[in-house]
Amino acid sequence: MSSSTSGVVNGGVSFWYADDGLPAVREPLAGDASADVVIVGGGYTGLWTAYYLKKAAPFLRITVLEQKFCGYGASGRNGGWLYNGIAGRDRYARLHGHEAAVRLQRAMNDTVDEVIRVAEAEGVDADIHKGGVLEVACTPAQAARLRAFHEAELAFGEKDRELYGARETAERIRVADAVGSSWTPHGARVHPVKLVKGLAAAVEGLGVTVHESTPVTEIRPRHAVTPYGTVRAPYVLRCTEGFTASLKGRSGRGCP
Angstrom distance (rounded) from CA 160 to CA 116: 19
Q: Is 132 helix (H, G, I), strand (E, B) or coil?
A: coil
Please tell me the distance from the alpha carbon of residue 184 to that of residue 255, in angstroms, as a whole number: 28
Distance of CA 22 to the CA centre of its chain: 19
pLDDT in tens, the chain (256 residues): 444 445 556 667 899 999 999 999 999 999 999 999 999 999 999 999 999 999 999 999 999 999 999 999 999 999 999 999 999 999 999 999 999 999 999 999 999 999 999 999 999 999 999 999 999 999 999 999 999 999 999 999 999 999 999 999 999 999 999 999 999 999 999 999 999 999 999 999 999 999 999 999 999 999 999 999 999 999 999 999 888 888 876 655 555 4
H or E stretch including 150?
helix 140-155
Domains parsed from the chain with CATH numbers: 25-78+192-246 (3.50.50.60), 81-189 (no CATH)
* Residue 16: closest CA among 24, 25, 27, 7: 7
Asked if residues 238 and 225 have their Cβ atoms less than 8 Å apart, the reply is no
Which residues on adjacent β-strands are paired with residue 145?
none
pTM of full prediction above 0.85: yes
Instruction: Count CB atoms within 10 A of the CB of residue 238.
Output: 22
